[in-house]
Structure 1
C-alpha cells in the first residue's frame, strides 16, 4: 500500500463524513461507481457504512486506506473541512496524534511543527533544551533556530537555565505547548 500526500478532495468527501467538533471520520454510503460490480458495492457498504474510518498506525496517528492508497486521517479531515488538500504539515496543537478536531489542527511548515513537539523521553532536566553538562558541573541551555543549535549559556542554577530557554522560546516563536510531557 502506498502513502499519498495529495488528497482527492471531491472523492474523499463523497466517501467520508467528518465531524469537525469531535474529529471523527465515518464512512458514507459509497456510490456504485467506486466498485467493479454491484456485489462489491453492496458488500462494502453493508460492512463499512456508518463505521469509524481507519486504524491507529505504529507512529500513533490515525490512518486510512482508500483503494490501496494510505492517507493520514488528520490530513483527510483538513481536506474535507477546507475543501482543499493541505499544503504543509498538519500540526496537532495539543500534541494528541488522534485528536482530529478542526480546532486542534493547523497547517504549518516542518520547522514550525518542530516548535510544538513533546519533551524527549531521555530528557533528564524536565525541560526541553536544558541539560546537565558534567564537564563544567553546570546546566547548559540551548535552542534550535533555523535548523542550527544555538547555545544560550552555562548556569550554576537549573532555574536560570530554564529562564534562558523559556525566553529564547518566546523570542523564536516556539509554541506554548513545546516540551510538554
Structure 2
C-alpha cells in the first residue's frame, strides 16, 4: 500500500472519522466541496479509489490512524464488514480472521464447527487451530455438539472467539 500511496497523500486528500469509520474527500480548491468517499456497491467491503487504484476502507483506516500500512489482515471485531470505526478494527493473521468469520451459507446446523453426518446419523463437532481440523466428537443431540464446539473455540480462539447462537 505505501509503495502506491503515502500516508501524507492519504491524510492530505482525505479526512477519516474514527468514531464513525467514514472517509471524506477533502475540498482541495475553492471550487470543490467535501464529499463522502467510498463505494459499497459490488463488494461486501467499502472501497475507495485513489489515483486509479482501489483500496479497502478498513485497510486505509488502519493506515490513516497508525501511520503505517497493515502488515496482516484487518479483522472487523463485530463481523460487520462495513463498520470501519477504528475501535472495531484489529490486525489478525488468516487463521484468526477465520475464527471471527460468520457462518458459511452452506452451513446447515446454525453453528460454526457443527455439521450433520448422514451415514452415522449424528452431529459432528470440529474445530480448527492453525488451519488444522480438530475432531471433537459425534453427538446424538445438536445442542451437545454446539456446546462442545463453543467450549473448544472459547478456549483456543481467545479474543477472536465468536459466539454463535
2:65 aligns with 81
| Total equivalences in the alignment | 163
Contact residue 7 and residue 68 of structure 2 kept, 8 A: yes
Structure-1 separation of matches of 2:73 and 2:163: 16
Q: Does residue 1:22 correspond to 2:7, yes or no?
A: no
Structure-2 separation of matches of 1:5 and 1:177: 32
- Larger of the two Rg values belongs to structure: 1
Contact residue 8 and residue 85 of structure 1 kept, 8 A: no
1:3-82 matches, cutoff 5 A? 4=1, 7-30=5-28, 46=32, 49-82=33-66
Structure-2 separation of matches of 1:59 and 1:154: 37
Deviation at 1:11, TM superposition (A): 0.9
Structure-1 separation of matches of 2:2 and 2:149: 35
Contact residue 76 and residue 90 of structure 2 kept, 8 A: yes
Structure 2 CA distance for partners of 1:140 and 1:99, relative to 1, 3 Å? same
Deviations 1:147-166 (CA, angstroms, capped at 9, x unpaired)? 12111111111121111101
Q: Does residue 1:100 correspond to 2:98, yes or no?
A: no
Deviation at 1:57, TM superposition (A): 4.6
Contact residue 142 and residue 150 of structure 1 kept, 8 A: yes
Task: Please state whether the residue corresponding to 1:55 is helix, strand or coil.
Answer: coil
Structure-2 separation of matches of 1:77 and 1:22: 11
TM-score (norm 2): 0.90
Task: Please state whether the residue corresponding to 2:99 is helix, strand or coil.
Answer: coil
Contact residue 150 and residue 163 of structure 2 kept, 8 A: no
Structure 1 segments of 4 or more deviating over 3 A? Answer: 4-7
Task: Please state whether the residue corresponding to 1:13 is helix, strand or coil.
Answer: helix
Structural RMSD (CA):
1.9
Contact residue 116 and residue 179 of structure 1 kept, 8 A: no
Contact residue 38 and residue 46 of structure 2 kept, 8 A: yes
Structure-1 separation of matches of 2:48 and 2:41: 9
Q: Which of 1 and 2 has higher RCO (CA within 8 Å, sep 6+)?
A: 1
